[in-house]
């Protein structure tokens, strides 16, 4: 089947300069029909139009990945463009809270955005891929996937949940032909969200001191193309200058 008859579902798309949009650009460049899903119409549509202007095929869908009805709708709409060959879950925010002051609602919010959203994206993608015996499901992880840090209990616990979920899913559907991978992004991403909060960070870190979203997306694309005799379940990415 030609790539133009397959589709890619990217869940968690914001600004054009963000990682979600970069995932979309990379798969569109390879000929995939790309469905971009996010919560803000202007941002998701701008990312889709950017792909279309470059000659790719992209559609924007608005909704919340942590809401079951929306997650089902994302996958259903993507399938109308062709069988989902790759699905990426990239949704979720971050926050800083003292453990002593962290409210239940805020802890639950990040769990819903990251862990519950990843579950729903993974489940809906797997339900469609397993009967076909092929496909790739990718989850965006973070440093918090591996260890907790002071003031980031909500984020770390949610991201650790995504990592465990990806491992469980991989062990279940891998033998059925579906590749599940978890990308640990161990460092700051040179994108709109981080630079809006820390506008001088790019200058402080120096050349290639932050992760390039397009470089991350390239790794995701290479993971998707791996031969099944040598699949990656987890890969960690960080800038060359990042301490770890």
101 DSSP 8-state letter: T
Percent of the chain with pLDDT over 70: 98
Cite the DSSP H helix spans in 101-152.
Answer: 104-110, 117-129
* Longest alpha-carbon distance in the chain: 54
Ramachandran bin of 239, using left for φ above 0, alpha for ψ from -120 to 50, beta for the remaining angles:
beta
pLDDT of residue 3 exceeding 80 = no
Report residue 179: phi and psi, to 5°: -90, 125
Residues paired with residue 180 on neighbouring β-strands, in sequence order = 137
Q: Which domains does the chain have, with CATH numbers?
A: 3-237 (3.40.50.720)
pTM > 0.85 = yes
pLDDT band for position 196 (cuts 50, 70, 90):
confident
Total Cβ atoms within 10 A of residue 99:
12
pLDDT band for position 194 (cuts 50, 70, 90):
confident
Contact assessment for residue 115 and residue 62, using Cβ atoms and an 8 Å cutoff: no
With H, G, I as helix, E, B as strand and everything else as coil, classify residue 32.
coil
């Amino acid at each position: 089947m030609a790539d133009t008859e397959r589709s890619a579902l990217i869940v968690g798309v914001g600004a054009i300069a963000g990682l979600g949009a970069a995932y979309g650009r990379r798969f569109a460049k390879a000929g995939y029909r790309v469905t971009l899903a996010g919560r803000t119409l202007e941002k998701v549509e701008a990312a889709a139009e950017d792909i279309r202007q470059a000659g790719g095929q992209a559609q924007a869908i608005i909704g919340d990945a942590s809401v079951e009805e929306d997650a089902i709708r994302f996958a259903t709409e993507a399938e109308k463009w062709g069988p989902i060959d790759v699905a990426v879950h990239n949704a979720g925010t971050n926050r800083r809270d003292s453990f002593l002051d962290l409210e239940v609602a805020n802890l639950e919010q990040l769990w819903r955005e990251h862990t519950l959203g990843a579950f729903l994206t993974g489940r809906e993608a797997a339900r469609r891929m397993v009967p076909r015996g092929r496909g790739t499901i990718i989850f965006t992880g973070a440093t918090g996937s591996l260890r907790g840090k002071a003031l980031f209990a909500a984020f770390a616990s949610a991201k650790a949940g995504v990592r465990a979920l990806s491992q469980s899913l991989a062990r279940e559907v891998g033998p059925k032909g579906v590749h599940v991978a978890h990308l640990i992004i161990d460092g700051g991403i040179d994108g709109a969200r981080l630079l809006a909060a820390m506008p001088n960070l790019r200058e402080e870190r120096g050349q290639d001191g932050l992760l390039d979203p397009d470089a991350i997306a390239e790794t995701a694309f290479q993971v998707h193309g791996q031969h099944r005799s040598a699949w990656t379940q987890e890969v960690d990415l960080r800038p060359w200058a990042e301490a770890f």
